[in-house]
Each structure stands twice: as structure tokens, then as C-alpha cells.
Amino acid sequence: MSARSFRWTLTLLLIILGLVVGYQATPWFIDSLKRLLPEAVNQPDTPNILDDRRFQMTVRFALTVVGGLVGVILGSEIFRFVLNVQKQIESASTREKIAITVGGTFGVLLTVPFAVLFSRYGIVGIPLTLVVGITFVYLSTVAVLSMKELRVMLPVAEGEVVAEAPKIKILDTNVIIDGRIADICRTGFIEGAIYVPGFVIDELQHIADSSDSLRRARGRRGLDILNQMQKERHLEVRTYDDMVDPNEPVDKRLVSLAKSINGVIVTNDFNLNKVAELEGVQVLNVNELANALKPVVLPGEEMRVRIIKEGNQPNQGVGYMDDGTMIVVEGGRDYIDQDVDVMVTSVLQTVAGKMIFASVKSQEGEGGEWVDRSGLRLPTARLRRRR
């Protein structure tokens, strides 16, 4: 049966069930009105409208229609739930499927005695039985999955590759506002579920409501990025928030949450990165990824750069590469707002990023030497970019 046929069949059955329940519930509904409104029944000089046939037919029709509408709504919601369960089952391994089947069977068997016991309480026993049944099925499945002997009891099928499931990626406030995480997720480099804690969303909302225009713009940017990511890729939200203390600071809650669910924190906050590493939590730092992807520049290479402003030291100029890397150019002060050829003299790598030092290249001197503005004479072979 196709998904479309299943949906229509399920909805039709629930509509019929709703119509029947609504139709049959009329006597119970009228009796309930009589108990709730005794003064309307015990009026000797006034006809009892609750016993009027036309009134009862109207009530029966209304309840029947309401039952049918409830069936339509339930059909749509139950179908959506069934589809989600189907996707989870299809993505599960053979071992997990067997564990769910075994655990579900044990859970149902354990529920039977309680169902018999709760049947004495009439209609109240139905929800009690459902709660106990769901609890037993869940606990039984978890127990079977957690068995260390499961690998022996349920061997891997031939050709099946057992791979560790990707860890949940937990986003912090700064990396969401930064925005680059959306592009990284779009390229497919981030595997596994992406989780946005509720307290991170609350912090974004608080920033977006700030009276400071800059903070307000940052908060709204973060919320817009989350909405964009939710459209492109499903995000888990607020699922595990009850596992941490709501009174702790946001950074501490992020670390505690990552430890509780064995997740990975995605951030660009240097301090959070260090604290998480001290706590033994894996961290993916967007800034470290960006630095790793920057082109490698070696001393002696030549490049062309535009001098933007004067440097901190005398006769220095400052420019930037396309990726934002700062280039400090000796002898570059006289070339502000101009494009000049420079030679890299050294590269400084820090935690905050990379800084390149270079000198302005002038003309070729005698003996095949380049003469730069700082007065250094170096062989031409050292200055040409390696290919």
C-alpha cells in the first residue's frame, strides 16, 4: 500500500469512528447536561427542552459532525507521526530493528496484567493502561539495546557495515549569529543531528529585544539564520533541555548538556572552546576551520595587495587578503590606496588568526637581486612564487 492510500484509508476509518462515537455519545451528553443543570429539568411549569426530540436530534447531529472533524484532524496527525516513525525505522540498523521488535513485544506482555487490573476502573483505566504500556515498551527497548551481549545475540548480517552514529552537534549563540554555520551545513561537512537548545533560542530572543540597535540587529540575524537552517535542514529544538540545570550560565549548560548526551559543541567562542576541552567535551570551532582553509603563504612568495591604511610602526602599511588575513607591509605607508607588489618576509600564526609580514618590492638591481623599500637585497630566485 502506498503512503497516499494509507493516509486516505486511515483518515476515512477515523472519520467513520468519529461519526459513530459522536452519534452514540448523544445520550451520555444529554444525561450529563441534566446532572449539571438540574434547575432546567425540575421546572413544573416549563417544558423540559432536554427531553425535546428536536433538541436531541440537533445535539446528535452536532456531535456527529464534531466527531467527523476530529477524525479528520487525528488522521492527519497520526499519519505524520507514522511517517516519522517509518523514517526512523528505515534508517535504523538491523540490530536496532530487532531490538525494537523484541523490546516492544516484552513491553506489551508486561502491560497485559496491568490492563486487566485497570479494567476495573472503567473508562479511567484506558489512559492508565496506555501510559503503562508505552512506558514498558520504551524501557524494554532501551534495556535490549543497552545489552553488551547484543553483538553476540544479534550478529551483523553479511555485508552490513557497523558504523558509529554521528554525534549530535550542539550550536551555541555566537556561532548562530556568526552565520557561517549555515553555509557549512549546506555543504554537507556537518554530519548527524543538529541540536539548538531552548536556552540558546531564549538568549537570541533576549538579544533581539535589546534596546541597543547593534545587539538587536545581531539577535535578529541569529533568529533569521535559524529559520533559514530549519527550512534547509531539520533542527532538533528543546528536546534535551531538561537534562541541565536552568539556573546555570548558558556556557556551563552547553558543556553539561554535551556531556549528558555525548554531543559535540559547535562554536566560535574561544573561552567556551577552552572550558569545554577542559571538561572533556569535543568542540568544533568554526574559526579553526576557517584558518585551516586559508591558503598557505610562505616567506619569499610574491603577491599583489592594496594598502588600506597606515600601520602601527613607522613606514608601515596595512592591507588584507581576500579571506581577511592582515598583511603588514614594510615601506607601505607611501602606497596607501594603491595596489603594490610585495614580498612575504614572515608569517605569524596565532590563536586569533594569521598575520603576514611583507615588504614592498621595487625594481631589480644589479646581479639579479630585488631591492625592497627596507633596503634588503635578496636573490630573485627566493622572491618568485613557488609553483
Q: Determine phi and psi for 364, rounding to 5 degrees.
A: -80, 130
Q: How far apart are the first and last CA of the chain?
A: 61
Mean pLDDT, residues 121-138: 76
Taking each helix axis as running N to C, give the angle between helix 26-36 and helix 53-91, from 0 to 180 degrees, rounded to the nearest 10. 120
Its sign, for the CA torsion 246, 247, 249, 252, is negative
Least confident range of 98-112, 133-147, 336-350? 133-147
pLDDT digits (tens, 9 = 90+) for 86-116: 777 766 666 677 777 888 888 888 888 888 8
pLDDT digits (tens, 9 = 90+) for 210-247: 998 889 999 999 999 999 888 887 787 777 777 788 88
Taking each helix axis as running N to C, give the angle between helix 3-24 and helix 26-36, from 0 to 180 degrees, rounded to the nearest 10. 50
pLDDT of residue 46: 52
Specify the higher pLDDT residue, 204 or 288: 204
Q: What is the DSSP letter of 210?
A: -
Cβ atoms within 10 Å of 154's Cβ, excluding its own: 18
Taking each helix axis as running N to C, give the angle between helix 180-187 and helix 213-232, from 0 to 180 degrees, rounded to the nearest 10. 10
Closest C-alpha among 313, 255, 253 to residue 279 = 255
Domains within the chain, CATH numbers bracketed: 3-150 (no CATH), 169-291 (3.40.50.1010), 294-383 (2.40.50.140)
Q: Determine phi and psi for 171, rounding to 5 degrees.
A: -90, 140
Q: Is 312 helix (H, G, I), strand (E, B) or coil?
A: coil
Q: What is the largest CA-CA distance in the chain?
A: 127
The residue assigned the cell 573561552 is 271
379: pLDDT confidence band, cut at 50, 70 and 90?
very low
pLDDT of residue 328: 93
State the Cα angle at 236 between 233 and 239, rounded to 5°. Answer: 175
Most confident of the following: 11-20, 44-53, 197-206, 291-300? 197-206
Q: What are the cell numbers at 159?
A: 555485508
pLDDT digits (tens, 9 = 90+) for 275-294: 999 999 999 999 888 877 77
Question: For residues 104 and 86, what is the distance between their CA atoms, to the nearest angstrom?
Answer: 15
